[in-house]
Amino acid sequence: MDPNPFKQFEQWFQAATEAEPVLPEAVSLSTATREGRLSSRMVLLKDFDETGFVFYSNYESRKGLELAENPNAALVFYWRQLERQICITGTVSKVSREESEAYFRTRPRGSQIGALTSSQSQVVASREVLENRFQQLLAEYEGREIPLPSYWGGYRLSPATIEFWQGRSDRLHDRFFYQRQSGGPWQLERLSP
For the segment 4-39, what is each residue's pLDDT rounded down to a tens digit? 999 999 999 999 999 988 999 999 999 999 999 999
Our CA angle for 11, 12, 16, nearest 5°, is 120
- Residue 153: its pLDDT value, please? 97
Q: Where are the domains of the chain?
A: 5-107+150-191
The helix/strand/coil state of 133 is helix
Active site amino acids: 171
- pLDDT-derived band at 119, boundaries 50, 70, 90: confident
**156 or 170, which is more confident:** 156
- Residue 183: its pLDDT value, please? 74
List, for residues 42-54, the tens digit of each pLDDT value: 999 999 999 999 9
CA–CA distance, 159 with 102 (Å, rounded to integer)? 23
| Angle formed by the axes of helices 109-117 and 127-140, nearest 10° | 120
- pLDDT-derived band at 169, boundaries 50, 70, 90: confident
Output the average pLDDT for the chain.
Answer: 95
CA–CA distance, 22 with 19 (Å, rounded to integer)? 9
- pLDDT-derived band at 121, boundaries 50, 70, 90: confident
Among residues 66, 86, 62, the alpha carbon closest in space to that of 159 is found at 86
Among residues 95, 9, 104, the alpha carbon closest in space to that of 50 is found at 9
- Residue 182: its pLDDT value, please? 87
**Cα dihedral 28, 85, 54, 130 sign:** negative
Burial readout 71-89 (b: 16 or more C-beta within 10 A, e: otherwise)? bbbbbbbbbeebebbbbbb
- The 8-class DSSP code of residue 146 comes to P
- Rounded to the nearest 10°, the torsion over CA 17, 20, 26, 28 is -120
Residue type, 32: A
CATH of 5-107+150-191, one of 1.10.760.10, 2.30.110.10, 2.40.160.10, 3.40.630.10: 2.30.110.10
CA–CA distance, 154 with 103 (Å, rounded to integer)? 9
- Residue 120: its pLDDT value, please? 84
